[in-house]
Amino acid sequence: MVKQWMVAMVLAVSLSGCGYNTMQSQDEAANAAWSKVLNQYQRRDELVPNLVATVQGYAKHEKEVLTEVTEARAKVGSVQLTGDTATNEQQLKAFSDAQGGLTSALSKLMVVEKYPELKANTNFLELQKQLEGTENRITVARNRYIESVQTYNTTVRQFPNNLTAKMFGMDVRPNFTVENEKAISTAPKVSF
C-alpha cells in the first residue's frame, strides 16, 4: 500500500512538471497573436480600395501602379492563413510574400509629388494617415506574434518539456519572416 502511494506521488509530481498545460496556453497565445496580425492586415486590405479610388481621380495615367496595387491586393486575398495553418512554414512564407508585395505596391502608390491637388485632398490625407497607422499596427502585431512563438518554441524545446511535446505531437512553430523584413516593417514612405 505504501509502495502504491509512493508511486502515485512520484507520478503526480512528475506529471505536474511535464509542461503540457503551459504548452497549450502558449500555443493558444500564439494563435491569438496571429489573429491580431490578420486583423491588422484585414484593416489594411479594407483601406486599399478607398485609397486607390481617391488616387485614381488624380493620377489617371498611373494606371500601371494602380493595377499593381489591385493585383497585389487580390494575391493577398487568395492566401488564407489561420492560427492553426500558421504552423506550416511554407504557407506562412506564401502569406508573408503576398503581404510584402502589397506593401511594395502601396509604397509606389503613395509617391504623390506629381499631384499637388492630391496632396491637398482631405480624403487622401485621411486615408494616408490611416494606412500609416495600420502599417505601424501590423508591425506591432507581428512583433507580438513573433514573441509568442518564441515563448512557445522555447518551452517545447526545453527538457523535460520536449519529452511531453514529442509525446503529444507538439512541434516547434515556424516564425513569421520575410525575405526583406526591413522593407515591410516600416510604413510606406510618402514623398511630397
151-191 pLDDT, tens digit per residue, is: 999 999 998 888 888 988 989 898 877 655 555 555 555 44
For cell 494602380, what's the residue? 66
Contact between 99 and 141 under an 8 Å Cβ cutoff? The reply is no
Amino acid 7: pLDDT: 65
Retrieve residue 150's grid coordinates: 518564441
User: What pLDDT digit, counting tens, does each position of 94-147 carry?
Assistant: 887 888 777 777 776 666 555 666 565 677 777 778 888 888 888 899 899 999
Q: Which long-range contacts (CB under 8 A, 24 or more apart) does 87-91 make?
A: 87/171, 87/173, 87/174, 88/174, 89/174
Q: How far apart are CA 105 and CA 57, in angstroms?
A: 18
> What values do phi and psi take at 4, rounded to 5?
-65, -40
* pTM more than 0.85: no
